A and B are shown apart, each in its own frame.
Chain A
Amino acid sequence: MSATGKHRASGQTYRVIGTRPIRHDAYDKVTGRARFGADVRLPGMLYGVLVRSPHPHARIKSVDTRRAREHPAVRAVVTAADMPSIDSEAVAELGEGAIELRYASEIILARDKVVFRGQPVAAVAATSLQAAREAARLIEVEYEPLPVVQDPVAAMAPDAPLLHQDLYTVTPGGGKAERPSNVAKHVQYERGDAAAGFAAADVVIAREFRTAMVHQGYIEPQAAAAAWEHDGRLTVWTTTQGAFSARQQLADLLQIPVGRIKVIPMEVGGGFGGKIQVYLEPIAALLSRQAGRPVKMWMTRAEVFTGTGPGSGTYIRCKLGAKRDGELVAAELYMVYDAGAFPGSPVGAGAVTGLSPYRIPNFRVDGFDVVTNKPRVQSYRAPGAPQAAFAVETVLDELAQALDMDPVDLRLKNAAVEGDRLVYGAPFNRIGFREVLQAVRDHPHYKAPVPGGAKTYAVGRGVAAGFWFGGSMTSTVHLTFNADGTVNLVAGSSDLSGSRASLAMIVAEELGLEPDDVKPVVADTDTVGYNDVTGGSRTTYATGAACWRACQDAIAQLKARAAKLLEADPEAVAFGGGEFWLWEEPQYRISIKEVAASLQKTGGPIFAKGIVNGLKMAPAFGAHIVDVGVDLETGKVDILRYTAVQDAGRAIHPASVEGQLQGGAAQGVGWALFEEYVYDQGVMRNPTFLDYRLPTALDLPMIDTVIVEVPASDGPYGVRGVGETPIVPPLAAVANAIARATGVRVRELPMSPERVWRALAAAGRAEGLFASHADG
């Protein structure tokens, strides 16, 4: 339907793949019928409310719940004393990232100490939401405030107050530091000799960057309902990127067997990595067990900001060295990622993604995972990569200027290809980075002259690139056939953005059916085999591969049935385009729908399965072009034109791929220009959508897209996951455009009007009444 999206199709043609059917989930979403996390209603349901710490760092001296328990509408009150204590260092694998269980438990209910403002300390359930809120205010908590650690760089100082007395830095070799500190981990990657490389370089540029802590900003707050039956069965309804991950976390945290727990995934109103870790689910469960009734909870927006997991703020130093012809010869990255209150920032992924797109013979990367008194971060779309790309892609742009080279040509000269090694040593499979860059260079947007500005309005164009790995992990799908030839596709992957349609299209393609003939369902944990989270851009890639395998299983079984109907041996039967026929006598044929209608007469129902447990990495590269206008009197930046180019391997549902590119670009623009946790002594001062500003429809132009198709090395059709990559390039692309427009580099995010104006004023580039009064 899109008038703008260009689709660079490679040779092979498909009947269904590459078309744009109406998505299977869409009808329920435009009519209000789709049921999200907070839409659950259960008989006898209670409402649960949390009591959260007003202090960013404090010892809990006492929690008095007596008055809340006396409230006549209250049916349950829980504190950390009701949670099993976890003393081991066991780790919960979240699919995207991991966390030690004892830390996860503390995030859910603080035990002896609070380490971020908004950390829950108690919860109540009552017969109405209003009564639950009243009762929560009756819980008296006595705190002894402790010194606050807010800035991750300051937190690394030897004399900084400690968040955790038992936290010892894990060193690059895997050892442990001798003294406790706020540095949870130091990762390091080295190749060649960085010092010698810089000595041999003709141009060396070193810069430092800061990015603010940001939030995924999903519009649906966390929500969960739980019913803990007297016989020990626990049922949880929740908005989650992975029902099986939620089930495992519940089992670990509540110390009950997974077999007792059923997690029912609801529609997910956006996640972007933030809806993998459980927050409300264990508390709703504990409240339900105590009350003997189902309990529903959901967060306010302020709770989402202060009580869930944002994306890391960072401090990064980046140094690049190049020969006069643009060949990169040396690089250094020093990266500090804010983990929030417990270890686990995505610094590892940042350290790998920063330099891997380019062939650099000599480099050293040091990354630090640092704890501060803020909510513990979680994954946010390509976790760790946008911050790293902001630094590297900005310095590359400065290098291009210093070398008087086109910035796309500079990237093309150094771009990694298949066989080049990521910084940790593994080689890339087939990748389309060069093809993406060539598509940028050939695009009418890039070829068009930069629009003219005015005395007080500067216009410029920026480009930047980035990638994400494209993971696999485990997926399971089942297919069953109905007598009318329709197919039930039962999957375990949560659908955040239309993956049900892509999966159904793969089944339709393979079985020769129409997309409408396939009915995709996101199943609960009792109904489908184990399935990892929707994250890491893996769903269309890995669950899609599982669909393809299930179809091959189904076709083999159906062939045997077709053989019976055609009175032939199964080996004599061929299949294609939705029909079975005899190799030797092709005039004898029967459609898949006719075979499905005859299943009961030919041996009973068919059940086909597809399981994927590890495909090769399928990295997706992208590059963005953006034109900005900068108001030299106010520092406000307008996005005038935007083009996102990305390798999708093979676009199954191109409208959905375009949507991923457009949405990721928009989030990246927000990160670049508007979004920021404003902290003051460990207190977030802007926990609303008024003060934490997401891009609106008025802040963006139409976002043009180009889908490049360089097939991946593994999986069906060459498809690559596309979800994460589009948020990697925009931060630097916007910064580079501002620099090209004004000659002024802003290296701290967000590039708010004030920050841009101060940078302009310091450089003598500001216009207007106050330009000369700037204090920099």
Chain B
Amino acid sequence: MNAMSTASAGKASINAVSAKVLVEATVNGVPEAFACEPRQTLLEVLREQLGLTGTKEGCGNGNCGACCVLLDGRPVNSCLVLAVEAAGRDIVTVEGLATDGLHPLQQAFLEHGALQCGVCTPGFLVASKALLDVNPHPTEQEVRRWLAGNLCRCTGYDKIIRAVLDAASRMAAETRPEAAAGLETAADDGEVRPA
């Protein structure tokens, strides 16, 4: 949107309708096909073409995490992914988190009041899901490190971190009751984020 640097250049060529490419991908478990220009980001196509506006644009250059989606299970900033790169792949957005009722992370965010304006919330939820998928028992510091790529300006992160830790223990309790009873306290160490 920013034409500042070239405002007086006037050298761009007129290119009315760029050729579009047909892309097939799985979006929130459903096969989708869409036509897009090769220069369009996944974020733009999700929002402006597929109507999946839960994924937010906060910065457009990968610094804020508001547009975080899962691509084949891994968290990516969809503003840094071209839509054509999603061909044949599996995309999960915030709209796909609730399957059989709310995801435990969503429930924990509700109960902890882990949001204020809510515009960063989808990115935090998707990124947190990615964390718990690879590290079901994160320490507070591991949650903070993992979510350092997601900016929140309203909450000071306190309630978000608590909600993620609470969701982790609830999910552990569902799969292994002894974890919730406090019989298991060891946490995973080390770097867990996928390369």
Within 8 Å CB of B110, what residues of A? 22-23, 26-27, 30
Within 8 Å CB of B118, what residues of A? 25-26, 28-30, 34, 267, 269
Give which listed residue, A54, A268, A690, contacts B117 with CB less than 8 A.
A268
Whether the Cβ atoms of A666 and B2 lie closer than 8 Å is no
Q: In the complex, A666→B118 CA distance in Å?
A: 17
Whether the Cβ atoms of A269 and B56 lie closer than 8 Å is yes
Q: Does B159 contact A (CB under 8 A)?
A: yes
Which chain A residue shows the least CB distance to B39? A130
Within 8 Å CB of B8, what residues of A? 54, 140-143
Whether the Cβ atoms of A219 and B2 lie closer than 8 Å is no
Whether the Cβ atoms of B1 and A299 lie closer than 8 Å is yes
Stretch at the interface among B82-90, B145-153, B174-182, B183-191: B145-153
How close is A5's CB to chain B, nearest CB, in angstroms? 10
Whether the Cβ atoms of A133 and B1 lie closer than 8 Å is yes
How close is A19's CB to chain B, nearest CB, in angstroms? 12
Whether the Cβ atoms of A270 and B119 lie closer than 8 Å is yes
How close is B172's CB to chain A, nearest CB, in angstroms? 18
Whether the Cβ atoms of B12 and A138 lie closer than 8 Å is yes
Which chain B residue shows the least CB distance to A726? B156
Q: In the complex, A26→B116 CA distance in Å?
A: 8
Q: In the complex, A129→B151 CA distance in Å?
A: 26
Give which listed residue, A25, A35, A219, A665, contacts B151 with CB less than 8 A.
A219
Name the interface residues of B70-106: CB closer than 8 Å to any CB of A: 93-95, 97-98, 102, 106
Q: In the complex, A54→B40 CA distance in Å?
A: 26
Give which listed residue, A129, A270, A667, A690, contacts B61 with CB less than 8 A.
A690
Within 8 Å CB of A14, what residues of B? none
Whether the Cβ atoms of A655 and B159 lie closer than 8 Å is yes
Name the interface residues of A22-74: CB closer than 8 Å to any CB of B: 22-23, 25-36, 38-39, 41, 49-54, 67, 70-73
Which chain A residue shows the least CB distance to B15? A134
Given contact pairs A26-B113, A221-B58, A270-B154, A35 touches B53 in the complex (Cβ within 8 A): yes
Which chain B residue shows the least CB distance to A143? B8
Q: Does A689 contact B (CB under 8 A)?
A: yes
How close is B111's CB to chain A, nearest CB, in angstroms? 6
Whether the Cβ atoms of A38 and B57 lie closer than 8 Å is yes
Within 8 Å CB of A656, what residues of B? 113, 116
Stretch at the interface among A154-162, A253-261, A335-343, A694-702: A694-702
Whether the Cβ atoms of B94 and A32 lie closer than 8 Å is yes
Whether the Cβ atoms of A659 and B116 lie closer than 8 Å is yes
Whether the Cβ atoms of B113 and A220 lie closer than 8 Å is no
Within 8 Å CB of A462, what residues of B? none
Whether the Cβ atoms of A219 and B156 lie closer than 8 Å is no
Whether the Cβ atoms of B95 and A32 lie closer than 8 Å is yes
Q: Does A218 contact B (CB under 8 A)?
A: yes
Which chain A residue shows the least CB distance to B160? A697
Residue among A70, A118, A301 with the most chain B CB within 10 A?
Answer: A301
Name the interface residues of B31-55: CB closer than 8 Å to any CB of A: 37, 39-40, 44, 47-48, 51-55
How close is A301's CB to chain B, nearest CB, in angstroms? 4
Q: In the complex, A238→B64 CA distance in Å?
A: 22
Q: Does B161 contact A (CB under 8 A)?
A: yes
Whether the Cβ atoms of A72 and B102 lie closer than 8 Å is no
How close is B49's CB to chain A, nearest CB, in angstroms? 10
Within 8 Å CB of A41, what residues of B? 48, 51, 53
**B interface footprint on A655-698 (CB within 8 Å = 1, 0 otherwise):** 11011001111110000000000000000000011100011111
Q: Does A497 contact B (CB under 8 A)?
A: yes
Within 8 Å CB of B143, what residues of A? 697
Interface size class of B (residues with CB under 8 A): 35 or more
Whether the Cβ atoms of A697 and B106 lie closer than 8 Å is no
How close is A38's CB to chain B, nearest CB, in angstroms? 7
Q: Does B136 contact A (CB under 8 A)?
A: no
Residue among A23, A29, A130 with the most chain B CB within 10 A?
Answer: A29
Whether the Cβ atoms of A51 and B16 lie closer than 8 Å is no
How close is A69's CB to chain B, nearest CB, in angstroms? 11
Whether the Cβ atoms of B122 and A52 lie closer than 8 Å is no
**B interface footprint on A211-224 (CB within 8 Å = 1, 0 otherwise):** 00000111111000
Which chain A residue shows the least CB distance to B146? A697
Within 8 Å CB of A134, what residues of B? 12, 14-15
How close is A53's CB to chain B, nearest CB, in angstroms? 7
Which chain A residue shows the least CB distance to B52? A32
Q: Does A556 contact B (CB under 8 A)?
A: no
Within 8 Å CB of A23, what residues of B? 110, 113
Given contact pairs A1-B112, A32-B93, A690-B61, A129 touches B48 in the complex (Cβ within 8 A): yes
Q: Does B121 contact A (CB under 8 A)?
A: yes
Residue among A272, A306, A497 with the most chain B CB within 10 A?
Answer: A497
Q: Does A302 contact B (CB under 8 A)?
A: yes
How close is A551's CB to chain B, nearest CB, in angstroms? 24
Residue among A32, A52, A216 with the most chain B CB within 10 A?
Answer: A32
Within 8 Å CB of B120, what residues of A? 219, 269
**A interface footprint on B4-21 (CB within 8 Å = 1, 0 otherwise):** 111111111011111000
Q: Does B27 contact A (CB under 8 A)?
A: no
How close is B3's CB to chain A, nearest CB, in angstroms? 4
**B interface footprint on A110-147 (CB within 8 Å = 1, 0 otherwise):** 00000001100100000001110110111111110000
How close is A54's CB to chain B, nearest CB, in angstroms? 5
Whether the Cβ atoms of B16 and A31 lie closer than 8 Å is no
Within 8 Å CB of B115, what residues of A? 26, 29-30
How close is B114's CB to chain A, nearest CB, in angstroms? 9
Whether the Cβ atoms of A30 and B157 lie closer than 8 Å is no
Residue among A27, A121, A137, A272 with the most chain B CB within 10 A?
Answer: A137
Whether the Cβ atoms of B147 and A697 lie closer than 8 Å is yes
Whether the Cβ atoms of A497 and B117 lie closer than 8 Å is yes
Within 8 Å CB of B153, what residues of A? 216-219, 270, 272, 663, 667, 694
Whether the Cβ atoms of B16 and A702 lie closer than 8 Å is no
Q: In the complex, A663→B117 CA distance in Å?
A: 11
How close is B99's CB to chain A, nearest CB, in angstroms? 12
Q: Does A761 contact B (CB under 8 A)?
A: no
Given contact pairs A73-B17, A130-B40, A689-B63, A662 touches B155 in the complex (Cβ within 8 A): yes
Give which listed residue, B10, B59, B94, contacts A301 with CB less than 8 A.
B59
Within 8 Å CB of A497, what residues of B? 116-117, 154
For the complex with contacts A221-B57, A663-B156, A696-B147, 19 further pairs of A-B residues with Cβ separation under 8 Å are A2-B158, A29-B115, A30-B118, A31-B54, A31-B94, A31-B97, A31-B106, A32-B53, A39-B47, A52-B3, A54-B5, A129-B48, A133-B1, A219-B119, A269-B56, A497-B117, A658-B113, A688-B63, A694-B151
Identify 13 residue pairs between A and B in the complex whose beta-carbon atoms are under 8 Å apart, listed by A's number. Answer: A22-B110, A30-B121, A31-B98, A32-B52, A32-B93, A38-B53, A139-B3, A217-B153, A219-B119, A220-B117, A220-B119, A662-B155, A697-B152
Nearest first, the 7 A-B pairs at minimum CB distance are A32-B54, A269-B119, A29-B118, A666-B156, A662-B156, A689-B63, A32-B94
